[in-house]
Structure 1
Amino acid sequence: MGRSLYSCLKTRDQSILVAAQFQVTWERSRLQDRRSSAAPAAPAPSRSSLCQNLDPSPALSQFADPLPVPLSINLSDSLHQHLTLGAYKIMQKLHRDLSATPMYAFGASQLSASVPGPTLLATQHVPAYVRWENHIDDPTHILSVDKSIHWANPTHGGVPIVVHLHGGEVDSASDGHPDAWFTYKGDTGSSFSSLNHTYINEQLPMALWYHDHTIGITRLNVVAGLSGMYIITSQAEGEILPVGLPLVIQDKQFYEDGTINFPEIGIIPSYHENWCPEYYGDTMLANGKIWPYFKVLPQAYRFRILNACNARFLILSLDNPDVYFYQIGTDGGLLADPLNLTSITMAPAERVDVVIDFSGLANGASVILNNSGPTPFPSGDIYQMPPATYAIVKFIVDEEDGYTEGILDADYMSKMNFTSVLEEEKAMSEEDVVGSRFLEVVEWDDNNHMPLIFTLDNRTWEDAVVQTPIEGTTEIWELMNLRINAHPIHIHLVQFQVLNQQSFVGNSTLLSTCSFDIAYGEEGTCFIEAPREPYAYQRGWKDTVITWPATVTRVLIRFTQRDGSAFAFDPSKGPGYAWHCHIVDHEDNVMMRPFQVTPNNTLAALTRNTASTRLYV
């Protein structure tokens, strides 16, 4: 293993400066070792699957198919509290005029497996036990595996999987550690312990999701279909709100025969045979259907929206000015103060909990849920977006055949007081902070500004653990994005709150002449503004946060349950946890780091390399 660049740097400002140079040769021996063990490059395919220059999908009519609502499984009833779900290869019809698509899907059987997988309904304080099995017997993946990057590489071939409950407070053996993968033939990763996962469900009501998390091929398995929603409810919430309807949004690209068009030739084939920095499909799907329609009654509905795209950021809006989003929750559950919004920005993996009220519309009226998020985000040109990626789903008011679940009472606005649901929550305070970690989000390019590899804190997944927070303590993580595009950062195990954001000079030359230890307004500082409050849609409890370009995003993390009490399990045991970019194409190319929770009785102090006592300036 090559030596971490971070160990060669003497100060944080030196670290930032080196990371900002962009035109580097990054541990070429490591990359060369991986390339030498990879299979010879495949000949160019007859149909274009070149990174970010894929053949367009076949022309398909919009709003030809009804929106499916995934099957729900109640994990709190006696029949399903011990549930077995498997990963299967299936053929799924994604559009009326497109041949069935080969996919990987979760389900209780191959017959019931679907994309997305079943929505798992859990009840707060009622544990659930899920056994995850791998029934995919393909000798190789249906999508091209790039063996030049660090990946599972099972001895006997096949398709490795491991399931992560995204946003879940679970022990690390049940968290879906990237190295805990397993195959149909029985190969396992170094951190594998069991197929049986325990979800204690001590969290407040919120919408989580489950998805594959296998080292090096998460992007492939998620595109192929291995994901679904997991919703925690409670009696108190149920007295105010319906569970709501899941709305899982993805983008994909297709060949004429219905198969998924995923890059087979990488952006730099001499380094990475088929890895591509970001996968953007030209076709939008909701709940596994391409541009569906959904018949609604003239009433208000609760939707649990998930951005399940690999890399696409969404800016959601409704095309009727009389209809808007009433946002009542985020990744981490209900908001104390709901928001009226005309648009919502969502990074990959983020969830929003919204009410959309159709009660003022006439029978037959329609409302289209649109997306205007540029690619890449936010620097991409919106006018270069494929026009088809604007529309996602059409809602049609139908007084006779409208969907009858997920509806709120007519006087729902008078009930939007969530005190009874949030009473177990304990607010975090900066006064409790024991230290802050200054962590860089970095892209390493070749001499032509083409991305080779992505890192966090100038380290990769294989480097030693240096983040070792003590259970029960509160920290500030200062996430510094040195690039021109946004990165969504996900931290396992905990829900956190965005404290503030602060922009700095984005020019690498200027960075060499300033310091991040000097406060804004003083000579020599790198900051160009005072710390600002997070955007409205980033408030509340979260597990995934957008780190904006040339910006430090500070998040407040308490390594406890939301009520401030110790976890119901020992988070220091097992293989540990991860934090990573949730553009999964970046995550797979080592933009992921491990962290290990230190037991509460440990007296070891935080060191300079893992945390300083410096707070933001």
Structure 2
Amino acid sequence: MTKNFRQIASGKVIVSRYDGVVLRMLSFLLLLSGFAFSTAHGEHSFCQNLTASPTLTPFVDPLTIPPTIDVSTGVQVTLGAYKITQKLHSELPATTLYAYGTSEKTASLPGPTLEATRHKPAHVRFENHIPDSETFLITDTTIHWANPARGGVPIVTHLHGAEAPSDSDGHPDGWFTARGETGHKFVTQNYTYPNSQVAATLWYHDHTVGITRNNVLAGLAGFYIIRSPSEEPRNLPSGRFEVPLMIQDKQLWTNGSINFPDVGDSPDNHPNWCPEYFGDIMLVNGVAWPHLDVYRAKYRFRIVNAANARFLTLSLSEPSLQFIQIGTDGGFLPFPMYLDNLTMAPGYRTDVIVDFSRLPVGTAVYLNNSAPAPFPSGDPDFSPPSTNSVMAFRVVREPAGFRIPQFAVPRTMGPMPVPSYDSKSVMRRSLTLVENDDADGNPLGAVLNNHTWMDPVTETPKVGSVEIWEIINFTPDAHPIHIHLIQFLFLNQQAFNQTAHDAGDCTLDEDFPHPESCFVESPQRPDLTQVGWKDTVIVWPSKVTRLWIKWTPRDGLPFPFNPVSGPGYVWHCHILDHEDNDMMRPLAMLY
């Protein structure tokens, strides 16, 4: 959804985004025309042409570890959203954020890690203590959004990856403000998470309709970890050797504030909405390019890509090291995979072990990123050199008398998931991803199956049924598609000739290698980064991606709650800028 040239304001002036002089002149013209919006930094921010962040020294600040809260006790935990300031780098002033915490004093980016135990329900009350009359990151009111009549910053929290009743799922229209106003799907602020699912890394984040991109970028995100001590592999790295890593990108002004576009790609239609937000600073746990001191030992890293739109392809600078992947979105893999790199879309979680035990003290290992943005085609402007580095690991000597635990990498971690279905009788859903542009080719948004968020529900799976979803991507970008409530398996993907399809010269109704088929290959198995139980999957451009979905909990048992009641669920693109502008659809379970 990116363009090398854009149309600015009503003067129909086409400018290159690389021409800073012209852009400054246009900013002046916009001010004269009354089109301008007031900004705290005194400059306009043009979509995908943001002023570069100040130069910062990387790897000087230590990685912070968010505090943990045990939610397995049966006692309700209250988690509020607050407006705070937090230093993201020691060379910058503190940044204004919205953040989760048990109080304004304890709120932080990321929020506290909620530690759950399988089969022990967690009770969490979410409260909104944000005093602002509107979000400090500009809201585009021309797209469908919460729009509280009395003002305020609406929030609603989604636990990403949870098997939870829909009144605790964080429905986008279930928002509420600090002023007592609620969305039309609001049920309660008191959520119950059954935690009946297997051990896994989840994360919670804001999910308010139309401003999810604003609120998550502002800081409303945190880890949620489900443990199952009797079922997990023994002797995995734990304690100080188990580290959560939440990766995001941001663009900052010299005063520390977040640089967020206030001039969109198609300002005549959407004055402020931008198709993807890319920043030039990489943050891990709310720290820009941090470092972590590690002993010569095995470490377990639970990684979440919490970026608005940036995909990640992570690698380690030390050639002797690999990622030993033991888990994905839905929990443990059947066996570890030894990988040189990890590709993670927004919303992905990856559970890996890295073994530093053979490295000499004093070694520096860098966690690097090589994913193009937008993904997968790429534009060098959106992947500056600063985004190629994420953080540093510094191998240090353990304190005198400290004995390093001898952790192990398990050989197996569970049975191999096998998707089974009757190919003749299984329910198949053919779903399309389509981008809409204005007359000049600038993105206006994208839709799922040619429906908007407000259109009546069309995906109504039956509890216990098996479905095959065939997602056809007609857009030029890869999209991470997230389905609430359940985990699924990636069956295969198949490339097709989109040019011939659009010209009407072939059909997707015929299999390869039929002469009238648009497919240019037989179905291909998923790559290693798509293996295992998933709730978010990369759907590549000009490909059909097929998913096996059984509408039950991951373990195949009945839901421990009524999945049909409440406001319902959703499925959507997890590029937050797309999700906010109609690339999201309701989903209703039926008996």
Task: Give the TM-score taking structure 1 as reference length.
Answer: 0.87
CA distance in 1: counterparts of 2:141 and 2:451, whole angstroms: 20
How far residue 386 of structure 1 moved from its aligned partner, in angstroms, is 1.0
User: Is the 8 Å Cα contact of residues 296 and 401 (structure 1) preserved in structure 2?
Assistant: no
> What residue in structure 2 maps to residue 69 of structure 1?
65
Q: Structure 2 matches for 1:519-558, cutoff 5 A? A: 519-558=511-550
Letter of the 2:139 partner, please give it.
Answer: V
CA distance in 1: counterparts of 2:380 and 2:70, whole angstroms: 41
Which of 512, 515, 533 lines up with 2:504 in the alignment? 512
> What residue in structure 1 maps to residue 232 of structure 2?
237
How far residue 387 of structure 1 moved from its aligned partner, in angstroms, is 0.8
User: Is the 8 Å Cα contact of residues 492 and 525 (structure 2) preserved in structure 1?
Assistant: yes
How far residue 324 of structure 1 moved from its aligned partner, in angstroms, is 1.0
How far residue 416 of structure 1 moved from its aligned partner, in angstroms, is 3.3
**Which 10-residue stretch deviates more, 68-77 or 298-307?**
68-77
User: Is it true that 1:485 corresponds to 2:477 in the alignment?
Assistant: yes
Letter of the 2:46 partner, please give it.
Answer: L
Which of 110, 131, 138 lines up with 1:137 in the alignment? 131
CA distance in 2: counterparts of 1:466 and 1:549, whole angstroms: 23
- CA distances 1:146-169 after superposition (whole Å, capped 9, x unpaired): 000000000110100000000100
SS, match of residue 237 in structure 1: coil
User: Is the 8 Å Cα contact of residues 62 and 290 (structure 1) preserved in structure 2?
Assistant: yes
User: Is it true that 1:160 corresponds to 2:154 in the alignment?
Assistant: yes
User: Is the 8 Å Cα contact of residues 47 and 263 (structure 2) preserved in structure 1?
Assistant: yes
> What residue in structure 2 maps to residue 430 of structure 1?
421
CA distance in 2: counterparts of 1:199 and 1:238, whole angstroms: 24
Task: Give the TM-score taking structure 2 as reference length.
Answer: 0.90
Which of 246, 255, 271 lines up with 1:257 in the alignment? 255
The change in CA–CA distance for 1:471 and 1:139 in structure 2 (over 3 A counts) is same
How far residue 400 of structure 1 moved from its aligned partner, in angstroms, is 3.0
CA distance in 2: counterparts of 1:597 and 1:426, whole angstroms: 24
Q: Structure 2 matches for 1:199-278, cutoff 5 A? A: 199-235=193-229, 236-237=231-232, 239-242=234-237, 244-278=242-276
Q: Structure 2 matches for 1:162-181, cutoff 5 A? A: 162-181=156-175
How far residue 43 of structure 1 moved from its aligned partner, in angstroms, is 4.3
Q: Structure 2 matches for 1:531-610, cutoff 5 A? A: 531-599=523-591
SS, match of residue 537 in structure 2: strand
Q: Structure 2 matches for 1:165-564, cutoff 5 A? A: 165-235=159-229, 236-237=231-232, 239-242=234-237, 244-382=242-380, 385-400=383-398, 409-410=405-406, 412-413=408-409, 415-419=410-414, 427-431=418-422, 434-507=426-499, 511-564=503-556
Runs of 4+ in 1 over 6 A off after TM superposition: none
The change in CA–CA distance for 1:232 and 1:43 in structure 2 (over 3 A counts) is closer
Structure 2 residues not aligned, in runs of 5+: 1-33
- CA distances 1:556-602 after superposition (whole Å, capped 9, x unpaired): 00000122111111111111100000000000001000010001xxx
**Which 10-residue stretch deviates more, 112-121 or 232-241?**
232-241
Letter of the 1:429 partner, please give it.
Answer: S
User: Is the 8 Å Cα contact of residues 63 and 290 (structure 2) preserved in structure 1?
Assistant: yes
User: Is the 8 Å Cα contact of residues 237 and 298 (structure 2) preserved in structure 1?
Assistant: no
Letter of the 1:141 partner, please give it.
Answer: T
CA distance in 1: counterparts of 2:133 and 2:379, whole angstroms: 40
Letter of the 1:270 partner, please give it.
Answer: D
User: Is the 8 Å Cα contact of residues 311 and 372 (structure 2) preserved in structure 1?
Assistant: yes
User: Is the 8 Å Cα contact of residues 47 and 55 (structure 1) preserved in structure 2?
Assistant: no
CA distance in 1: counterparts of 2:327 and 2:380, whole angstroms: 28
SS, match of residue 120 in structure 1: strand
User: Is the 8 Å Cα contact of residues 309 and 575 (structure 2) preserved in structure 1?
Assistant: yes
User: Is the 8 Å Cα contact of residues 295 and 401 (structure 1) preserved in structure 2?
Assistant: no
The change in CA–CA distance for 1:188 and 1:401 in structure 2 (over 3 A counts) is farther
How far residue 290 of structure 1 moved from its aligned partner, in angstroms, is 0.3
CA distance in 2: counterparts of 1:285 and 1:267, whole angstroms: 26
How far residue 42 of structure 1 moved from its aligned partner, in angstroms, is 3.3
User: Is the 8 Å Cα contact of residues 579 and 592 (structure 1) preserved in structure 2?
Assistant: yes
**Which 10-residue stretch deviates more, 443-452 or 40-49?**
40-49
- CA distances 1:178-228 after superposition (whole Å, capped 9, x unpaired): 000000000000000110000000000000000000000000000000000
Which of 64, 83, 86 lines up with 1:89 in the alignment? 83
Letter of the 1:185 partner, please give it.
Answer: R
SS, match of residue 219 in structure 1: helix
Letter of the 2:495 partner, please give it.
Answer: S
The change in CA–CA distance for 1:361 and 1:426 in structure 2 (over 3 A counts) is closer
CA distance in 2: counterparts of 1:427 and 1:560, whole angstroms: 15
> What residue in structure 2 maps to residue 120 of structure 1?
114
CA distance in 2: counterparts of 1:383 and 1:42, whole angstroms: 25
Structure 1 residues not aligned, in runs of 5+: 1-39, 600-617
- CA distances 1:497-525 after superposition (whole Å, capped 9, x unpaired): 00000000021665511111111011100
Letter of the 1:556 partner, please give it.
Answer: W
**Which 10-residue stretch deviates more, 484-493 or 383-392?**
383-392
| RMSD, aligned α-carbons | 1.8
> What residue in structure 1 maps to residue 52 of structure 2?
56
How far residue 453 of structure 1 moved from its aligned partner, in angstroms, is 1.7
The change in CA–CA distance for 1:451 and 1:101 in structure 2 (over 3 A counts) is same
The change in CA–CA distance for 1:487 and 1:88 in structure 2 (over 3 A counts) is same
SS, match of residue 325 in structure 2: strand
> What residue in structure 1 maps to residue 43 of structure 2?
47
